[in-house]
Homo-oligomer: A and B are copies of this chain.
Amino acid sequence: MASKLIAIVAGVGPGTGAAVARKFAAAYPIVLLARNPDNFESLAKEINAEGGRAIGISTDVADSKSVKEAFEKIRKEFGSEVGAAAAVFNASGRFVRKPFLELTEDDFTAGLDVSGKGAFLFSQATLPLLLKGVEAGSRYPPSLIFTGATASLRGSATMASFASGKFALRALSQSLAKEFGPKGVHVSHAIIDGVIDIPRTKEWLKDAGPDAKLSADGIADVYWHLHTQPRATFTWEMDLRPYVEKW
């Protein structure tokens, strides 16, 4: 049936993106977007093997042509009238931390390209599908969820690039929440404040004891909670951090 609603996750990697994809795949056919197919291939296989349905599409969210092609593939796969129940923007771009005067123009725009333009392109591509989800009477309000960070609220020395992108993303998400909330789409922004427990961070915070890092599954549970909020009780923004995090 063409009207089956799907979920789309941009920025699938070893942490939040994969955990969110697994969580939402239990309810919806899922589309995995990442630049590097290594980031979604085994995950798609795993979801499909466990009875879900997943496709991965190699996509550069900051490139309009690439995003356009990705959504053409989605329509080819799920039908031109496909709607979405959820879209999660979890991409971040290259993280650059350098003294400001050493930043190249590419370093600086790394943040803005993905968190600014990329989030714009993703939102423009997914909102029409989410609005179709509203029309289709989806069980939960169709949801567009953005992953923020501490740097969404605070600029820091040597973090100008990352913070500029994350501030821009927060502005976009708030603007969209105000414009599309009344149309029935739930737009949210989660501020992830802390280190996420993934292979790359295995050696970090080892002295801080257990649970000192955010679990990707815990973040996925929160995104699912946001998704299931009824339209009378929408959260736009929430923060998330491990219990020992200083802030």
What is A's interface to B at a CB cutoff of 8 Å?
64, 99-101, 103, 105, 108-109, 112, 116-117, 120-121, 123-124, 127-128, 141, 151, 154-160, 163-182, 184, 186, 197, 211-215, 218-219, 221-222, 225, 229-247
Chain B residues closer than 8 Å to A211, beta-carbon distance: 230-232
CA separation between A186 and B121, bound complex, in Å?
A: 36
Nearest CB of B to A97, in Å: 11
Question: Please, which residue of chain B has its CB at the minimum distance from the CB of A178?
Answer: B157
Chain B residues closer than 8 Å to A175, beta-carbon distance: 100, 155-160, 163-164
Chain B residues closer than 8 Å to A180, beta-carbon distance: 100
- A174 and B163 contact, CB distance less than 8 A: yes
Give 8 CB contacts A-B under 8 Å: A100-B123, A105-B120, A164-B168, A181-B245, A213-B232, A232-B242, A232-B243, A234-B243
Using known A-B contacts A184-B243, A232-B211, A233-B240, determine if residue A163 contacts B171 with beta carbons closer than 8 Å. yes
CA separation between A238 and B235, bound complex, in Å?
A: 7
CA separation between A171 and B233, bound complex, in Å?
A: 24
16 additional A-B pairs beyond A109-B117, A167-B170, beta carbons within 8 Å, are A100-B175, A103-B120, A112-B168, A155-B170, A155-B176, A155-B177, A156-B175, A157-B178, A160-B175, A160-B179, A163-B172, A215-B233, A218-B232, A219-B233, A221-B229, A236-B239
Chain B residues closer than 8 Å to A164, beta-carbon distance: 116, 120, 168-169, 171-172, 175
- B178 and A156 contact, CB distance less than 8 A: yes
